Amino acid sequence: MNRSIVAQTAFKSKVGQLDALALAELLDKTLLESRETGKHTTKKTFSPSSVGYGNGTCPRRWYISFDGAEFHDNFDSLGLANMSNGTYVHERWQTLFESTGVLVETEKEILCEDPPIRGFADLIIDWEGKEIVGEIKSSKNEMFAYRKNRMTPTAYHLVQLLIYMEVLGMDEGFFLYEDKNEMKIVVIPIFMTEENKKLVTRVFEWMRGVHGTWRNQILPERPFTKRSKECAGCPVRKACWSGDKYGEGDVKLPKLVLPK
């Protein structure tokens, strides 16, 4: 389902020179035209921010990405607007952290060879002599309240931070969640507990297995149907289903399943 930034029911019939609905639809169209479509891309690494969510849990998606294919941005206008707002939220909080006296680094590059990983942690802070990695997230009011009441992040956010902690050798991290509606924040500390260590180890093993199939050119079968939401938003969907290069697959590999 394509979601639009235009709330058409909010517009009345045209009065005066300005056609409000036409202007809103022009903005929506221009935003959609900003998408990158048909760009050939060859991935060299897994991205921690996407590996645990949607098509990022699909082994075949990563195989084709490592192989190289045309990437198609399938975000609708509402998704694009949300990403843009998320970037703004990150920049705003990173700027504030620069004034706190605890900031060590922003956009810390995270690199790992086995499995191949490259990402950028939002924050590294020095808290009373200990370096701690942090991630900035924003969410709607209802989800913010859920996170605040339970003091837990979403599973794929947790995996992203745990990957950073594992690569950096840190046993402590945190999330800063912002309520999009009320601009309130909650800070959720994360520790490398035995349970979290088992989770991140499992994720690393899954990535190694997926990358191994690509190195050996053993194509994974599709774990999702063509109508699934994971496939609908996948950047390599066209290459995966076209049949020109990639068939049904040679081996069954499980999708990455995270705890709820």
Q: Is there a domain that residue 71 lies in?
A: yes
> pTM here?
0.90
Instruction: Place 207 in a pLDDT band, splitting at 50, 70 and 90.
Output: very high
Q: How many domains does the chain have?
A: 1
Q: Is there a domain that residue 8 lies in?
A: no
Q: Is there a domain that residue 22 lies in?
A: no
Domain that holds residue 58: 32-242
- pLDDT tens digits for range 33-46: 777 777 899 999 99
Q: Is there a domain that residue 15 lies in?
A: no
- Best CA proximity match to 110, nearest among 131, 98, 100, 124: 124
- pLDDT tens digits for range 168-194: 999 999 999 999 888 899 999 999 999
Q: What is the mean pLDDT of residues 220-245?
A: 92
In this structure, what token pair is assigned to residue 254? 């499980």
Task: Please say if the pLDDT value at position 88 is more than 90.
Answer: no
Q: Is there a domain that residue 254 lies in?
A: no
- Best CA proximity match to 169, nearest among 189, 187, 192, 152: 192
Mean model confidence pLDDT for the chain: 91
Q: Is there a domain that residue 55 lies in?
A: yes
Q: What is the CATH number of the domain that holds 210?
A: 3.90.320.10
Q: Is 109 left (phi over 0), alpha (psi -120 to 50) or beta?
A: beta
Q: Is there a domain that residue 132 lies in?
A: yes
- pLDDT tens digits for range 61-76: 999 999 999 998 777 7
- pLDDT tens digits for range 129-170: 999 999 999 999 999 899 999 999 999 999 999 999 999 999
Q: Is there a domain that residue 9 lies in?
A: no
